[in-house]
A and B are shown apart, each in its own frame.
Chain A
């Protein structure tokens, strides 16, 4: 392993998870190193939740093995549950209990010493800014605050490895950004974090990411290295009429990839197509465009490309 100098805290080896006939995870291997933020990025239904639930011993393992700090998860669920921090995708706190009551409940649940718990809860209030809402019922919090409370509750026993399943799902952009700042601080404290998300832009906030789709992790790398992983040269057409331009390009057969984006169309050239043909085609069709140029691929581009390659195995 390239990270042999570092300690592995979470690891999957050929992990398989099925629900009857449905194959949710089809042989996944990856590892999370101590002190890093590892992002599992991918669309819904890709197997992220199944993988994370299995890692925290909530699901039966159907093939391969998962390891937490070197111990097999299947054989040591108690060890995993005592030491890991887990934040489920669904809000899983008690809505009829206040912020402070929820925090204290989880402190007691994990047998955290009373005095220690009080200090820890104050510390977490500092992180989350939830102190002014301490007596508010969890059910009456906004989406962003709920997620911060959920995070605080699972941090109350000071785990050094945490698993977060789409913690920013459905949360407003400001709260999302605040949430990632908290994760950054946790990392500075030495906490290892495995986090999943369907938001591609959050990939850059991770140390390493795994692109997960259709039960497989297709690429594991640092976010900055991802553009190089794109096979071929990518171009962008900027236009105010992306739909029309996309349809015209798709029909022309000049493109390999041809994907619709907010600001225009991203494409690769089909074999034997000259760059200039694209501009000519659009002008022939009287379609206005601002620019046509080569660009560095983003994570969405990579995903769209990878998904196409994997589609036949569905």
Chain B
């Protein structure tokens, strides 16, 4: 019985390495996706257009403007006179925010009277609006140095002190890409044999569905694991995402997760009638839910309850928790045994379902 299983494994390995074109795709596609999405998906803001209407035009206001210009967060245009039509500036996208410095600014600073600056923000992008508000307040506070209130809050930021988005997104992106690639790899594994007619010959033999399913999953596990390592290393180096925890632990978890993706694809393949349908199904089943409901971008806790339930059956949810935990917080197995065992459980369930769904007849 072991021989039948090994013969399937060997055969699949031959298919993998003989089909150079597909192999090239399998090795380059995840990298390409990592680069495209890695650079496109970021919440870090740069070069926000700000118009500063400086009515005061004194050394104090110039000091404030200098502070604002010093960051690469803002792209500053200074208006000497007033700004008449704020709405029109926003409509024409000439600025995302407008800061007005009042005529008595210099005098107020010198005499120590509280002063009010007017900040108008285009909040059609609420996320950006939030950033702008925080940033301007911080810069303004800096500029008021020596002018302290009764108490201040000193925030201490853990795990991602610069609050860059890359350490948050890149691990999630790895989870997303890996699931898609793995599901795609096996989605055609069975249906291809149905289409080419080889299944008809394969079925009239002592081989059992469990041997066919596992015999096909095993070789692809190596390939998927290799892809995973590749994007982990490239992602970590290229986007400057230091790994706080154990790389070995990530690799072990990745192995479990690769099998989840592969068995998901396998299930699709046992049910699908054609390769085209299988691939489409694999893409839809992995990318869409994983992107939206796994906590990749949007926090699960703020979703409607029904989505929160759905997120619990999405494999990426658990792997994102695991990989973010290890990369950002240096989690060890002790912190992660729960999502890890759920992933293992998903593996078992998906493989069992594939074996059940495997048709031993041609109809």
**Interface size of B in residues (CB-CB distance below 8 Å):** 28
CB nearest to B203 among chain A residues: A58
B46 at the interface (CB under 8 A from A): no
Q: Which residues of chain B come closer than 8 Å to A78, judged between CB atoms? A: 206
Bound Cα distance from A59 to B14, whole angstroms: 30
Min CB distance A20 to B, Å, is 11
Bound Cα distance from A121 to B215, whole angstroms: 24
Min CB distance A56 to B, Å, is 5
B88 at the interface (CB under 8 A from A): no
Chain B residues packing against A (C-beta within 8 Å): 1, 3-4, 6-8, 10-11, 14-15, 18-19, 196-207, 360-363
Do residues B204 and A91 form an inter-chain contact, with CB atoms below 8 A?
Answer: no
Chain A 110-136: CB-based contact to B (< 8 A → 1; otherwise 0): 110000000000000000000000000
Bound Cα distance from A109 to B12, whole angstroms: 13
A252 at the interface (CB under 8 A from B): no
Do residues A60 and B205 form an inter-chain contact, with CB atoms below 8 A?
Answer: no
Bound Cα distance from A93 to B196, whole angstroms: 9
CB nearest to B15 among chain A residues: A96
Do residues A96 and B19 form an inter-chain contact, with CB atoms below 8 A?
Answer: yes
Contacts known (A86-B204, A88-B200, A93-B198); A108 close to B6, Cβ less than 8 A: yes
A23 at the interface (CB under 8 A from B): no
Q: Which residues of chain A come closer than 8 Å to B204, judged between CB atoms? A: 56-58, 80-81, 84, 86
Do residues B197 and A110 form an inter-chain contact, with CB atoms below 8 A?
Answer: no
A223 at the interface (CB under 8 A from B): no
CB nearest to A165 among chain B residues: B200
Bound Cα distance from A96 to B3, whole angstroms: 21
Which residues in chain A, 68-99, are within 8 Å of chain B measured between CB atoms? Answer: 77-78, 80-82, 84, 86-88, 90-97
Bound Cα distance from A111 to B205, whole angstroms: 10
Report how many A-B pairs have Cβ atoms within 8 Å: 83
CB nearest to B211 among chain A residues: A109
Bound Cα distance from A58 to B360, whole angstroms: 7
Bound Cα distance from A97 to B8, whole angstroms: 13
Do residues A58 and B206 form an inter-chain contact, with CB atoms below 8 A?
Answer: no
CB nearest to A58 among chain B residues: B362
Not counting A86-B204, A92-B198, a sample of 14 additional A-B residue pairs whose C-beta atoms are within 8 angstroms of each other reads A58-B203, A80-B204, A81-B204, A90-B200, A93-B201, A94-B14, A96-B14, A96-B18, A97-B18, A105-B7, A108-B3, A109-B3, A109-B206, A111-B1
Bound Cα distance from A92 to B6, whole angstroms: 20
Bound Cα distance from A77 to B205, whole angstroms: 10
Min CB distance B11 to A, Å, is 5
Bound Cα distance from A53 to B362, whole angstroms: 9
Which residues in chain A, 112-167, are within 8 Å of chain B measured between CB atoms? Answer: 150, 153-154
Instruction: Please pick, from B7, B19, B200, the residue contacting A108 in the complex, using a CB distance under 8 A.
Output: B7
CB nearest to A82 among chain B residues: B206
Q: Which residues of chain A come closer than 8 Å to B7, judged between CB atoms? A: 105, 108-109
Instruction: Please pick, from B10, B198, B201, B207, the residue contacting A86 in the complex, using a CB distance under 8 A.
Output: B201
Q: Which residues of chain A come closer than 8 Å to B6, judged between CB atoms? A: 108
Interface centre among B19, B198, B201, B363 (most CB of A within 10 A): B201
Q: Which residues of chain A come closer than 8 Å to B360, judged between CB atoms? A: 77
Contacts known (A59-B362, A60-B363, A97-B14); A92 close to B197, Cβ less than 8 A: yes
